[in-house]
Structure 1
Amino acid sequence: MAPKNSTPAAHKPTAAQTSMAAGTTSVTLERLRANIGPLSTMMLRELEKTLPWYRRLSADERSSLGLVAQNGISAFVSWYEHPSSPSWVLSDVFGTAPTELTRSISLQRALQLIRTVVQVVEDRVPELADAHEQVALREAVLRYSREVAFAAADVYARAAENRGAWDTRLEALAVDGILRGENTDALQSRMSALGWKTHSKFTIMVGPAPSETDASFLATLRRAAARFAADVMVGIQGDRLILVLGEVANPESAYHRLSELFAPGSVVYGPLAQDLAGATASAKAAFAGMAVVRGWTAAPRPVSADDLWPERVIGGDDSARRALLTNIYQPLLGASNGLVETLNSYLQHGHSLEAAARDLFVHSNTVRYRLRRVCDVTGWDPLVPREAFVLQTALVVGRLSAAVKPAPDRPVPRST
């Protein structure tokens, strides 16, 4: 045993440690060294007997955990002989790659394993020490188990921190992949690694990011989003905050509540997407809406990107132009019954039913009926000023689209 005065000042043991080291006899130490093997064997049997989850592990996992437990017993003997700082625990007990432990079992199970090892050693105290040293040995076992438990908690905390940092990077890549329309298989792989289970019904929300987007804010945002959506991913791109939501329950309420977590300013959400390819289109629509939302001074918060079709068309968004053609103009043409003519006359005459009726030589009730049909066909009500503006933009887009169609080929005059 090393003399007291050989202990470095930086690692000087406490009074309790010094007393324990001084009270240790060579006989007890010899017994501890001689029983390392038997104790390890007993410990493995006890793990098999008392921990059902241990028996279900693979052979490699049981071997790794058994090695950790055996290291713990060997390290205890060395520590009991030379009490010192607990900084050795990570390397001596858990080895050079302690994160392997976190991949095999949870922290709760790791503590159960430590408790079993301690119990095995404590039960053998009467055989390992004389009567006058048994109290000191039991105290040493308890203090040692405390240090190992703290070290195990530190291992799991570091592993969780590393996983959190990796998950954050992977999440950023997944969100960026959705925005850029990357290969869906690669995207699905990244999202599965994040625990994402949704395969349809994606929604993208875009808005200004708060000035402080630390880990605490992101955790709060995820918890809030988890109340309304089955899955959620968060992305920060410059001054923009992006939410990718999967299977939102009660969308109207969810979008309103989630918009409160964005910084002051407009918040836009894209149309519901049925797959990852549609999620990319939804994200592009949301960003296009953010670029022009200031054109609608009375826009609600949050606002749907589809409600910004007129502003997006003016801003040069071709997807909004196609949406107006597909969802409004072409259905109106297909419905016939003079819906396009009636809507155009109503809009051109200052939203006056009587003026439109005179222009069309019909009764005002006929105009009113046809306008209700316009609402039934398109989902937009011409009697509401904002929706009438959307319908009027659709008529303009439709007429311009028809005007640019190529003319039919004319026969070339035969030369004489």
Structure 2
Amino acid sequence: MTPRATPEQKAETLAWLRRISGDLATATIKRLEESLPWYAEMPPARRSAVGLVAQAGITSFIEWYDNPNATPWVAADVFAAAPRELLRSVSLTQTLQLIRVTVEVTEERVAGRGEALRESILLYSREVAFGAADVYARAAEARGLWDARLEALVVDSILTGEADEELPSRIAALGWHGHGEVAVLVGTTSPQLDVDQVRRTARKLGVDVLIGVQGSRLVLVIGRADGSSSAAPAADDGPLPFPEIARRLEPGFGPGHLVLGPTVPALVDASQSARAALAGFAVANAWRHAPRPVEADDLLPERALAGDSLAKATLVDRIYRPLHAHSADLVTTLWSYLDNGRSLEATARELFVHPNTVRYRLKRVTDVIGWDATGPREALILQTALIIGSIGTEVTRRRGGAQRRTS
């Protein structure tokens, strides 16, 4: 058992410690420069701040040695001299190295002054190490809360389409690495939502993700790195398509529908994907056997019937106008085929052509617009596009005639 120092010995040791405190600080700074490369490479102002921390640690130890019960907040005493930005420039590992060097120098200098003093140094250094860990833990917690608030603000800006010039800098502050395509995934919030697990899954897939929890609704903004980026996942057939990414992220959502918005070229355009995904999520119940996840463009008929102007414009721009621009025969054949219950024979009789001609024209429809009229779901999409396109054309024609008559 280490013998305790008498009051006279303690008073003598305190006086000696106060006399050599300046020398201890100087020796500590010199040792830091010699043994820690990161310290020598610091700008002068930061080196000075680190030196203040070391000196404060020595001074605080002397006060603590005088009365261990009078200064319970050791970390506050030691780190009070450091500017706030030092926590961001010096890592916890580097701080512990700083403490170790300071303790080593102090132990070397006080060698021979008794085991009681050496034991006090070890006890105090332990308290400082725990105090440093607490300081950094609190800083990390505060940063985590700030990041969560910033992430929620960014996701909300994307959903509302109210992006401003500050959005790119906010996204960069969140550590967004993707510079490629983006899509938005909307579903329900799981009662056992594990945000960290969602992020881990996204990292394994080689994608960035922004997470927004809005009550019962969970929104993921998914970013895929471009092919030239090292963040892109290595695969023989290129990066994963967004529907596959959505399927792998699906377990993180709660029960119910899961809607993937269309792909957009960059994060600044994500509001377009978000708008489509939210509109699809609102009407997904209208499709009895909707897959999970389902793409928002597969819900175009339901969205259009619900009054979604973006869905109507998409149907006209991607189906009605390309078919009209390519061939009037394709439009006529498609109309007849859909009106006759997708019967080749009935369509051929109405158009006075051979059924093989109908087959050929339907194949040409698929080649032009990418949808296959022979499937029940895609037939609904095409028929909705024809109806909306015809209504818009008729309204435009009537307005044009009225203007001519007025003039």
TM-score when normalising by structure 2: 0.90
Structure 1 position 56 matched with structure 2 position 36 = no
- Measure, in 2, the Cα distance between the counterparts of 1:246 and 1:370: 38
Q: Secondary structure at the match of 2:166?
A: helix
Residue of structure 2 in register with 1:224 after alignment:
201
Deviations 1:84-141 (A, max 9, x none): 2772212211116675432220000000111110110111123xx44xx1x2222222
Structure 1 position 189 matched with structure 2 position 169 = yes
Q: CA deviation at 1:337?
A: 6.1
Residue of structure 1 in register with 2:51 after alignment:
66
Mapping for residues 6-405 of structure 1, pairs under 5 Å: 19=4, 24-84=9-69, 87-95=72-80, 99-126=84-111, 129-130=112-113, 133=114, 135-213=115-193, 217-247=194-224, 249-250=239-240, 251-336=242-327, 338-405=329-396
- Measure, in 1, the Cα distance between the counterparts of 2:192 and 2:81: 37
Point out where structure 2 has 5 or more consecutive residues left out of the alignment: 226-238
The answer to whether the 8 Å contact 2:64/2:70 transfers is: no
Q: CA deviation at 1:182?
A: 2.0
**1:412 to 1:193, Cα distance in 2 relative to 1, 3 A:** closer
Deviations 1:13-72 (A, max 9, x none): xx98x9357584333222211110001000001111111100111111111111010011
- Measure, in 2, the Cα distance between the counterparts of 1:86 and 1:210: 47
Deviations 1:299-339 (A, max 9, x none): 10011111100000000001100000110111111111611
- Measure, in 1, the Cα distance between the counterparts of 2:5 and 2:178: 59
- Measure, in 1, the Cα distance between the counterparts of 2:202 and 2:15: 61
- Measure, in 1, the Cα distance between the counterparts of 2:82 and 2:147: 20
The answer to whether the 8 Å contact 2:185/2:260 transfers is: yes
Q: CA deviation at 1:285?
A: 0.7
Q: CA deviation at 1:183?
A: 3.3
- Measure, in 2, the Cα distance between the counterparts of 1:117 and 1:21: 26
- Measure, in 2, the Cα distance between the counterparts of 1:173 and 1:88: 36
Report the structure number with the largest CA radius of gyration: 1
> How many residues end up aligned between the 2 structures?
390
Point out where structure 1 has 5 or more consecutive residues left out of the alignment: 1-14
- Measure, in 1, the Cα distance between the counterparts of 2:243 and 2:6: 69
**Percent sequence identity over aligned pairs:** 49
Q: Secondary structure at the match of 1:109?
A: helix
- Measure, in 2, the Cα distance between the counterparts of 1:218 and 1:265: 18
Task: Name the Cα RMSD after superposition.
Answer: 2.1
- Measure, in 1, the Cα distance between the counterparts of 2:33 and 2:283: 66
Match of 1:182, as an amino acid?
A: E
The answer to whether the 8 Å contact 1:229/1:245 transfers is: no
Q: CA deviation at 1:171?
A: 0.6
TM-score when normalising by structure 1: 0.89
Q: Secondary structure at the match of 1:19?
A: coil
The answer to whether the 8 Å contact 1:90/1:98 transfers is: no
Greater CA drift, 184-193 or 106-115: 184-193
Q: CA deviation at 1:257?
A: 1.6
Match of 1:258, as an amino acid?
A: L
Residue of structure 2 in register with 1:3 after alignment:
none
Q: CA deviation at 1:354?
A: 1.3
Q: Secondary structure at the match of 2:198?
A: helix
- Measure, in 1, the Cα distance between the counterparts of 2:8 and 2:97: 30
Q: CA deviation at 1:281?
A: 1.4
Deviations 1:270-307 (A, max 9, x none): 10111345311111111110111111111100111111
Residue of structure 2 in register with 1:7 after alignment:
none
